[in-house]
Structure 1
């Protein structure tokens, strides 16, 4: 068995996804941490395109050199409503996992104070002065541990905060005809059968004959794989003229949608990051962009010597998210009506601004007044009383 020259580290980062790699890069490039030893652990070698991240932002951003495709327009529609619209001043951006890994992993591995080890973490044990991290072959100790390991059973052990899933299966396809509008993202197409849930199609067109087509649900239970795939087949046939196509890649994901306070599991030695830390937007499941904003805040928190258990900020936007999730938990079929009403009555750019937690109170009043008010009033009274 090979033994690493060091078994104790100042910092251990578990998981090299978006949160882990961005944190490792931020610490590795900051002279404040140059005399600190940092270990990064992940069970994968990060050589596969295992995910797609999308986000919107104004103007140029830090990931622009890695972005695979951008769009200036989106489409939202349903059985009785169709709308194509600009999202200016925002741009919708898509980043492939493999491009992110290929950029950040070599940089992280090159820092002299960072050690990268490809092993699966089995368990973490917090002790009086250190944290023990056991992998398949070794045991390490650290003063501080950042863990992106998500245990989906944790929020299910309580009833105060509903737990839905944003779950999806996507096909990246190449068609034999030019059928896609590559200047517009199909952001939410609710024309598919809802079957008592909130279900929609999401299409990212890379070209006129290439796109990622995803079947997405906001609901409590996942589907059987064939249910997602049958829905995709039906949608392609109905909306793209029966064109022939080949499937180049597949992806599946499930992101928790909940206002459960994940931060309460943080201690002064172990802090959870990414989805495990509650960094996903509860009402949409978007995680990447929020993670890119949380990492610099966490680094500053560390540099100021603040207690890790205090790394949390309350926000009124969490309350808005909670009301929506309360509604979808009780009446999951209302999702399409709520989102269609918002996009029908308000500018898409304002909705995206709201979903990024950047609006003021007047703008928020305009957003929450767009859908039918009764479900929100009921949800509000249930929360109060």
Structure 2
């Protein structure tokens, strides 16, 4: 039996794996590469959001965009335009339909195998990938398999959420305004807020999101919170739930590495591309995949967009506060949105702000929990 060695094997047909394949396909030598895509066949029931000042490479998959952002708390609320940024939404269904029905058939050099990788090793500059029914070989492996570290970071929270796609009988939503945080929900033992993305004046995705040590709530708990929030924010409005989405995202200060145990190149969550204090990852993953593809195609060196330096320091401070004092979350975010323009907040979250702007922003936040956390982390 003839042994086939692939030039590239991609483990994981999700957000990172597909974005990497898309960027690899832009390389001059793409058609000459033999590519293996290994998928466990488990679909993700979620969508992705990101903001930007220019078009994303997958802009054609954007379902809806918003020019204004809203923040609400029990004693403060504000809506602001975010130009030059625009906030975008890509539906999971649209994302996977494009790659499975359009992209893969248009690239016959990709062989798709529905199988879970049981073992991955490297010897003599060649990788061996073992599944339940077969063995494959590749010169390079990119993997988005995320495994919980044996020794996790000091601060480890879970951002978990459940949302309803609703349709109302009467128009109630402002179609151009996305509500990123509405803290007018019970805080209990975690940082909890509602998230509203209107697709029209009577259609929207409404989610309950929590930052907590618990991995997730029961479906009943999410649904009770969603029903209560909708009844209070849109009293008397009749609505139907068309579909749902649910998921969870790690929020950790774990020092991620670029390579896995066998020397494979890690992608997405496994490579630390999730912003530790927000859970946003789509744009960071896209940038990383572009860099990796260009480096593999020898068109330019890679620039790993992992959080480092002072931004990692900021993330650790906030993670420490949200872990040890979740009740402070409402106060921290309320003061942040009250005293800082939303455009500046997005620039800060993109890690593109100036040190002077950061000092000005942080000086307006409640200083006691940050100083306390600073002392604890310095001692640690």
TM-score with structure 2 setting the length: 0.91
| Range that drifts further, 231-240 or 84-93 | 84-93
Q: Does 1:16 align with 2:9?
A: no
Partner residue in 2 for 1:150: 146
Given that 2:120 and 2:262 are in contact with CA atoms closer than 8 Å, whether structure 1 keeps it comes out as: no
Question: Relative to 1, partners in 2 of residues 1:60 and 1:36: Cα closer, same or farther, differing over 3 Å?
Answer: closer
Partner residue in 2 for 1:286: 280
Please, which of 120, 124, 127 is the counterpart of residue 120 of structure 2?
124
Secondary structure (helix, strand or coil) at the match of 1:121 reads coil
Give per-residue Cα distances to partners, 1:90-136, cap 9 Å, x unaligned.
11111112222233343244224322222233332344543222224
How far the C-alpha of 1:33 sits from its partner, in A, is 4.3
Secondary structure (helix, strand or coil) at the match of 2:69 reads strand
| Range that drifts further, 133-142 or 182-191 | 133-142
How far the C-alpha of 1:302 sits from its partner, in A, is 3.0
How far the C-alpha of 1:86 sits from its partner, in A, is 1.3
Partner residue in 2 for 1:212: 205
Question: Relative to 1, partners in 2 of residues 1:64 and 1:24: Cα closer, same or farther, differing over 3 Å?
Answer: closer
Partner residue in 2 for 1:104: 99
Which runs of 5 or more residues in structure 1 are unaligned? none
Given that 1:70 and 1:94 are in contact with CA atoms closer than 8 Å, whether structure 2 keeps it comes out as: yes
Secondary structure (helix, strand or coil) at the match of 2:61 reads coil
Please, which of 147, 155, 174 is the counterpart of residue 162 of structure 1?
155
Q: Does 1:87 align with 2:87?
A: no
Partner residue in 1 for 2:72: 77
Alignment of 1:1-385 (within 5 A): 7-44=4-41, 50-105=45-100, 106-151=102-147, 153-154=148-149, 157-158=150-151, 160-221=153-214, 222-263=216-257, 266=260, 269-304=263-298, 314-385=308-379
State how far apart, in whole Å, the 2-side matches of 1:34 and 1:6 are: 21
How far the C-alpha of 1:45 sits from its partner, in A, is 8.2
CA-based RMSD of the aligned residues comes to: 2.5
| Range that drifts further, 299-308 or 285-294 | 299-308
State how far apart, in whole Å, the 2-side matches of 1:118 and 1:79 are: 48
Give per-residue Cα distances to partners, 1:11-54, cap 9 Å, x unaligned.
110111121011112112312444332111112286xx832111
How far the C-alpha of 1:176 sits from its partner, in A, is 1.4
State how far apart, in whole Å, the 2-side matches of 1:306 and 1:27 are: 13
State how far apart, in whole Å, the 2-side matches of 1:41 and 1:220 are: 32
Given that 1:7 and 1:139 are in contact with CA atoms closer than 8 Å, whether structure 2 keeps it comes out as: no
Secondary structure (helix, strand or coil) at the match of 2:60 reads coil
Secondary structure (helix, strand or coil) at the match of 2:57 reads coil
State how far apart, in whole Å, the 2-side matches of 1:6 and 1:233 are: 57
> What is the aligned residue count?
376
Given that 1:72 and 1:86 are in contact with CA atoms closer than 8 Å, whether structure 2 keeps it comes out as: yes
State how far apart, in whole Å, the 2-side matches of 1:270 and 1:174 are: 45
State how far apart, in whole Å, the 2-side matches of 1:161 and 1:334 are: 19
Secondary structure (helix, strand or coil) at the match of 2:59 reads coil
Give per-residue Cα distances to partners, 1:145-187, cap 9 Å, x unaligned.
1111112x32xx4364211011000110111121212121111
Secondary structure (helix, strand or coil) at the match of 2:166 reads strand
Secondary structure (helix, strand or coil) at the match of 2:338 reads helix
Secondary structure (helix, strand or coil) at the match of 1:177 reads coil
How far the C-alpha of 1:313 sits from its partner, in A, is 7.2
Secondary structure (helix, strand or coil) at the match of 1:191 reads coil
State how far apart, in whole Å, the 1-side matches of 2:305 and 2:82 are: 33
Secondary structure (helix, strand or coil) at the match of 2:83 reads coil
Which runs of 5 or more residues in structure 2 are unaligned? none
State how far apart, in whole Å, the 2-side matches of 1:234 and 1:127 are: 57
Given that 2:28 and 2:297 are in contact with CA atoms closer than 8 Å, whether structure 1 keeps it comes out as: no
